[in-house]
A and B are shown apart, each in its own frame.
Chain A
Amino acid sequence: MSAWLPGPRRAAWAEGVDRLRDAATTEPGRLRIIGAVLALLVVTFGAVTAWQITERSSAARDVASRSEPLSADAAEIYRSLADANTTAADGFLVSGQEPAAVRQRYESDVHTAAQLIANAAANSQGSADTQNQVTLLNQQLPVYTGLVETARANNRQGLPLGGAYLRYANDQMTGTLLPAAQKLYQTETGRLNGDYAAAESLPWAAWILGLLALGALVWAQRRTYLRTNRVLNPGLLAGTAAAGLALVWLVAGHTVARSDLGDSWDHSGRSLQVLNQARIDALQARGNENLTLVARGAGATYEDAYEQGMSTLDGPRGQQGAGGLLAQALSLADDPGGRTPVQQAADGVAQWRSRHNVANNDDNNGDYDSALAYVIGGKDSSGTEVTQTTGQSFDTVDRSLQQAVDHETGEFERAAGDARDSLTGLPEGAAVLAVLGAAGAVLGIGRRLSEYR
């Protein structure tokens, strides 16, 4: 078969070229070729525009409806796991029976984490990285809660074994679960950045084809004018208008979408990343503050970690408010709705630090009971009920940051939604305009052709 097949094929191809060459020698033949090329260019421009904008539009939709929420979920998984761990240590510090509020907070943290892990699994979309971290989280979360329950059971029987189980559970949390949640957050944030890049990448092919089609249409009209002295060819003019409109729509629509996406990132996306990090740092500082008291004298490393967390949040000791994540979040917040909660969080941190210093001084001077009361509440060593605890300050900080996150998420969704909306109808519109443009070109050329009959 392959021995004789190329023969006739080459003959057919050669025949077609010959016919084209023959056609190009006469004006009607040349007009037919010009008409065909114009139609092909305009239709290709329309098709490529529809395809490229559909891709960008779906990436813009993913930013708003999939990857940003998943990245936020991953941050929330980390936060609820760390909060559960801190709360468990809180419960341990309280003498006697654990307060119901502490128990409820722990339960709700674990519930939130489990739900969001399931959600991340359902949306992993074949990403091996995501699946690995989700599997690890799914396996280790029940192990962790089992250890905490064992700690609780022993604690209630008055056995110090409970404390040993809690330390072991804390090791599992900080050594396995939190690193997995951190990796998940990085993976999801990587996907978000990928969707951003896909939505913002410039549709070069569509632009070039649009310019080529417009140029060819203009050239065809100039050629007609030179040969016939007629200024206007309605068909070609209509074709040019349709192709030109499609190109303007393409450039304008995508530029607006890019700027909306840029807004969503500059005004909210960046704020959200800083705020999420600030929440996690506040939480870890609280955890370390608790562990300093749990370790009772052997907690120098926890106290150092607390101090480091506070420096990251609010600037180094002695230069509070200078630098740090909260100052960064404040400069990123671009409206009062975003600034107010961040300012409240910063005030809360300042209050927390000064209360912590009191507690820490008591601890260093041997008044453990007062230190404990300043951190979790209760009576100090002189029997006075302490009403201004670092725990309250931490709650203020966490609540304010949550408000800031909610506000920025709203802003983000609005800007990302605008980006998606500015591309709405563009693929379909470009396709229709291209068909109209091609039809115009063909009609315009057809009118010239009819003059030769």
Chain B
Amino acid sequence: MASACAVAVTATLLPLLPCDAAPLGAEPSRGPGLTQARQVSVDDSCSHPEASLRPSSASGDAVKRIQQQGYLTVGVDQNSYLWGYRDPETGQIVGFDIDLVKAIARDILGSDAKIVYRTIPTDQRISAVQHHTVDMVVRTMSITCDRIKQVAFSTAYFQIGQQLLVPKTGTTVTGFDDSLNGKTVCAASGSTAEALLNSQPHGSRVLRVPNQLDCLVRLQLGQADAVLTDNALAAGQAAQDPAVHLIGQPLTQETYGVAMNLADTDLVRRVNKVLDDYRSGGASSPWMQAYGKWLAHNLPGVTGPPAPLYKD
């Protein structure tokens, strides 16, 4: 961890990379399968951006505001297959993220909770939270050193890494290396993938689109040679197109968190309380049930949620 954190100190070069970005080729350490809380010391070097506030079920100003308004406004995506997507059959937004949203809404507003989904592009997530356009963003959002200065995150609820997606045949791209020279790599604007490409382009041209799924369109149309995105989202793309696959190893280690306004500390504690309950119960926990329902088939091998980390 110590050497990885040195990267975070030079944050001017890698503004959006999480400080624990793993070096190329490092084995991904997926969910450790334990939910024991740890406390870490917080310092300026941002060694643990995923460290959040202790859980509490108390209702402060932010929670009361939501209860008074009568519904929970959540920034989600309708393009992230298996995470948050519009099911064309029913017209409803569903997925792993959405199950978590429902659990949070039930806790704050009761069993018949009303939820307003606001689908937002990748690069609008932070401003939506800052301007209170939404109460929270639950949208495959990586917790990074840069972002924790702008928004407050819950504890981590999933562990992922950036990975390349290419066509199964007819490509000369072999990994995140010089085989990308002269190639076009697609990434969503404002994503950690875009930041990684900006710092290490390997001679590639970066094609920026509003949403990671737009990258699969460009790849199918031959306008991009490869897609760089979270392996969790890339698995969703591969599930929609059997002619593409993930190559190499995850390039980073990141975690997803629920983003909220920095001022809404009571809401952060409340969501962390919900996540505590969501994680508990071992193999039959709500978390594992949601994993089994949405992700296990396309993203196998995860044994449990990441352990929460607290800074207070």
Contact = CB atoms under 8 A, between A and B. Distances in A.
Interface string A152-192: 00111011111111011000000000000000000000000
A387 B216 CA distance: 39
B117 A296 contact: yes
A337 interface: no
B216 A297 contact: no
Interface string B49-88: 0000000000000000000000101010011110001111
B217 to A, nearest CB: 5
Contacts of B116: 297, 365-366, 368
Contact of A95 (B91, B117, B120, B124): B91
A164 B79 contact: yes
B124 A298 contact: yes
Nearest to B215: A164
Q: Helix, strand, loop or mixed for chain B's interface?
A: mixed
Contact of A366 (B81, B90, B114, B213): B114
A159 B88 contact: yes
Nearest to A154: B240
Contacts of B220: 150
Contacts of B119: 295-298
B9 interface: no
Contact of A160 (B79, B115, B118, B124): B79
A416 B124 CA distance: 55
A161 B89 contact: no
Interface string B21-58: 00000000000000000000000000000000000000
B73 A158 contact: no
A353 to B, nearest CB: 24
Interface string A87-120: 0000011111000000000000000000000000
A297 B89 CA distance: 20
A92 to B, nearest CB: 8
Nearest to B78: A296
B211 A159 contact: no
A162 B220 CA distance: 12
Interface string B211-230: 10110110011000000000
B241 interface: yes
B221 to A, nearest CB: 8
B91 A160 contact: no
Contact of B87 (A154, A158, A296): A158
A163 B120 contact: no
Interface string A355-379: 0000000000110100010000000
B121 interface: yes
Interface string B98-128: 0000000000000000111111110010000
Interface of A: 92-96, 150, 154-156, 158-165, 167-168, 295-298, 365-366, 368, 372
8 contacts: A158-B87, A159-B240, A162-B88, A163-B88, A168-B214, A168-B221, A295-B119, A372-B91
